[in-house]
Structure 1
Amino acid sequence: MAKIALIGAGSATFTRMLLGDILSFDELAGSTIALHDIDSERLDTAIAVAHATARETGAHPVVEASLDRRAALDGADYVINIIAVGGHAATVVDYEVPLRHGVRQTIGDTLGIGGIFRALRTIPVLEGIAADMAEVCPNAWLLNYTNPMAMLCWAIAEGTPQKKVVGLCHSVQNTTRQLAEYVGVPFEEVTFLGAGVNHQAWILRFERAGESLYPLLDEAIARDPDGLQRHVRVEMYRRLGFFPTESSEHSSEYLPWFMRHDDMLERFRLQPGCYVQESLENLDEHARVRAAIAAGEPLPVEPSIEYAPQIIHSMETGRVRTVYGNVRNEGLIDNLPHGACVEVPCLVDDAGLQPTKVGALPAQCAALNRTFLNVGELTIKAALEGRREHVLHAAMLDPNTSATLTLEGIAALVDDMIEAHGDALPEGIRRTTAVAR
């Protein structure tokens, strides 16, 4: 049986969802589940969640848990990474410090000044995980869920010996199901192709029986001026011709045209700081789950559409599936940089995971993706090389930050963010003098 390690298992809700799917497969029901978290209270909750989920699914896994990461990783076949370095407190910093400088964000975990600093404090931890894996489970697959997805998977492939890595998200699954609802077609009848960068990939084909469903989408949008027409992603589709795979809240802060303008916030119903509230709700949900377990209440298991359990099942059984993964661009998308992390369809079976070559994206879509990847590349260089000036360069090229602040303002913001996050950042970034203004 497989050994599956969950790193950051104290995320009780996500751990419960993933284990519910994993343990619902008969072939995985006897797997070894190794849980790791740096917080002992959260780890205790994760252990209880694992046992409760096993009872609900009728599975009999071997549940192990350790505050020692290497012990959890030892002998693993699959490593699922769901860490959040700095937790809620760091999320608040990522929002409040930029806001004091006039930079508004909705989520702040993928691009923008928040995404840059989330990457900077997460990459060193991932380097440690990869180093441990090289020693105690060198053949394991690393299945990453942590954001900023493209930056982190790129950094792992670029800066560590861990090459069997794929980043997993639910953007493509959710978007295509949502589009099917918009056009009134059962999802089972839809075929599609998506590709691009995580949180900014594009639905290149959206069809039923070989016929494009985009005309039906156009009709649905035209009928709904106070609904669909007030979504950022619909505006992107109208302007660029292909529907993007991430929510309007996320998408708005990857672009220069929305967050700085009050009228755009109102028109597209955007709420700066909404992720801080969501993070607080996650804390409340963790407390609710812990209380439910203490009271002996059951934890219902509902199937999800997450990819990690499907990938593990396919690799263990040989069942062929197509998933969307974030992988190194080695001839997959012609007009995005070689070596960057891109999101493409991947075939998965007992031979592993094989990405699909997509070719060239539409020119306008690739151009916007490159502005996204520019920020990621410089952030990765800053982290791996300890180059503080590259943090400034990344912020200078970020669409939302550069649309809001002058160069001097960006430099002041970067200095304040480095000071606020302190020891969580790579040493070279911390110890260097303030960036030039």
Structure 2
Amino acid sequence: MNTEQFYPLFLKSDKVTIDSRKVGRNDIFFAFSGENFNAAALAEKAVDDGALAVIVEQPEFENKDRNIFCVPSTLEFLQQLAVHHRNQLGIPVIGLTGSNGKTTTKEIIHAVLAEKFNVQYTSGNLNNHIGVPLTILSIKTEHEMAVVEMGANHQKEIELLCRISQPDFGYITNFGKAHLEGFGGFEGVIKGKSELYDYLKSHHKTIVVNENDPIQTEKTENYTPKITFGKESSDYDFGLFSEEHFVGLNFKGEKAVSKLTGEYNFTNLCAAASLGLHFGISFDKIKQAIENYTPTNMRSQVVTKEGRTLVLDTYNANPSSMTASLQNFATFEGAKTVIIGDMLELGDESEKEHVSILKLAHELAFDQVITVGKHFKNVNPSPLSFENTAELIEYLQHNTIQSENILLKGSRGIALEKAIEFI
């Protein structure tokens, strides 16, 4: 069984899934195996539940009469099938990566382009070596373009994801201090993320460039084709403005204000607006998309609870995004409490970076600084330093935060969102 032989069956399916709990009628189930489980054992049940086909990598589970096929590697077959499908698609694919803001930027780009086109885009955070193939395989004949988010924490990962998704346009949101351990330091981050540039250049594809970012401009100097924003000499020049806690952009005298907090989201809006204008969408439609987009994914999300303003940014954290969040939150009027969780995957830089963030939080003179996680616990002797979110919740059950503004910011592994209902 190879991908070309299997492809006609794939075209008859409704979707591809790797989750046995979500197998529906007419789906294709890829039975991945792990140390503690073997999904191939569920192959027959998946067919009983209506699956069109199942891919396994253990011969003893193969049953061709029931469309249960064995391949040497379910992962490699998934990726190869995605590449084959991508080669059949005649639509533009926009790829994006970066240290911060990938998912928010992806969501806004989709919102803008959807004003004119039927756009498929990465669901949730499916941006790795499994998620990107699933995204590509979710593209149907009715889709007119796609937006693919690509995440990485090691060298060569973006290179792989580019070979699978084959982007026609690409944007790197920024280069920050994220996944330092895997990338081998900040220079490693730049090299790893720039693999998107390498692919686009070698295939003569279009790069979207924020000309206020010196790394982006240096890496794309003298290259064409590209779409630029950020300066008067750029293709698109946007002005920054804010209304209350929310960031907006100004284009030729017309303003669009988002429901996102933080000036750091300005460039995310600019990238989306630039692509919209490039694809012939009027700024009136772009404004409509930006103003209607409501974040619900715990990224730069502002909610009101019992008369207080909560800023929820608990999906991820690194020194770059943490610094931006704290500086933005410092501009809020009224009493302010920050609840900051550990920044993970920093390797040898971890202690230094946590000390630096803690120092910044105190310099910004917040009314209360609460830290959560073992890394912060090691550098913060305060009684408001908790080893995990469970300890924080126990504290909140007996103590009320008085501040009218509260920021929650931390890495995914800290799960600060679990504390929200106790605030």
TM-score of the superposition, structure 2-length normalised?
Answer: 0.30
Q: Which has the higher strand share?
A: 2
Question: Over alpha carbons, which structure has the higher Rg?
Answer: 2
Q: Which has the higher helix share?
A: 1
